[in-house]
Amino acid sequence: MTSNTKQLRAVFLAALMVLSVFAGTVAFAGSAAAVDSGTVDNFDPDNLDEGTQQTHTFNVSYANYDGGDGTDTVDINLPSSVTVDSYDVAVYNESNSSNIATASGSSPGTTDLSVDFGQATTGSNNATIWVNGTVTITAPSVDEDTDANVWFNVSDATDGMVNKSQTVTINDLGATSENPRYLESVHWDNFSSDNNAQLEIAFSEPVTGVNNIQLYVDEKPMGALGSADVSDNGRYVWNLSEVYTGDVEVKIPASVEDLQSNDVSNTGNKTVDVAPVTVKSGDVNAYKGSSVAVARTRPTPTSKSSGRRRGLHLLPVR
């Protein structure tokens, strides 16, 4: 984050006037303030996740404000790395019952806005004024949790400026640069009467682009698998129309990647373990040299480090 800022300015006049917003700045006229203190009474929430949009509400008070002639300015300075999507700002008098000035827009820095408002009455000398409203911003990507300041400033032509800041934390979501890995695949006869067979492919983490995986049987291309019928934390299952007993392979294309757009590290052709016989319980007959898939009632939960994501074991018959 940098100290460069995009600015919203609120401007009010002593009589009925038009508020104009230019290049993200709102100016208000009608007093020569002598404010000497300020407090950020509320800023909520004070954090947001990287890459997300969040609306923040705020209320900032300034004491010892004196109405008078001249032009005074409230600046709200946001870090330049964020994107300001919209804002709605109001300046209230001491009674906190009527606004002195308002400003709103959808793109500070490029939006010109005109608003009509009433007389700038603070109630008395040495009064308190409030600046409150909402601002909706989108956070950038960060490599770690990052703190940035939002500044609320009141300035006047004769007595200088009062600056108050609020720290906002942009949360790193922990995106990893580690590439996902293809783990294994198996093809077996299913128990269900609805589907004759299934093909399962496991990765080290959830990925996208699995619909582009190509299926080959005895080196003959069978086409892309299409959308998986089951997707479970890196485990993908397709229902097939028949049980293949020959040499079955899948080709993992480079378009398969994780949710952070990291490519699979071991793409290319992969041999599929074929189990034409599947058992869930009880006895079963199988030919010597063949493979038998032993299915669990439910898939066993796995972690990224375990490298096991399937709900069945493949056992050779000896």
What does the alpha-carbon distance between residue 55 and residue 151 come to, in Å, rounded to a whole number?
Answer: 17
Domain, as residue range, for 262: 182-316
Inter-residue contact 295 to 315 (CB < 8 Å): no
Residue 91, Cβ density class (10 Å: 0-12 exposed, 13-18 middle, ≥19 buried): buried
Lowest-confidence pick of 5-14, 40-49, 239-248: 5-14
Q: Is residue 45 part of a domain?
A: yes
Which tens digits make up the pLDDT trace of 247-289? Answer: 999 999 999 999 888 999 999 999 999 876 654 545 444 443 4
Please state the domain count of the chain: 2
Provide the edge-to-edge strand list for the sheet that holds 312-316. 277-279, 291-295, 312-316
Last residue of a domain, one of 152, 171, 190: 171
Last residue of a domain, one of 171, 192, 218: 171
* 3-state class (DSSP) for residue 261: coil
Is residue 215 domain-shared with residue 247, that is, in the same domain?
yes
Q: Is residue 176 part of a domain?
A: no
Is residue 158 domain-shared with residue 83, that is, in the same domain?
yes
Is the per-residue pLDDT at 107 higher than 50? yes
**95 vs 33, more confident:** 95
Q: Quickly list H helices, 174-288.
A: none
Question: Cis omega before residue 45 (within 30°)?
Answer: yes
* CB neighbourhood size of 7 (10 A): 18
Query: So what's the pLDDT on residue 125?
Result: 57
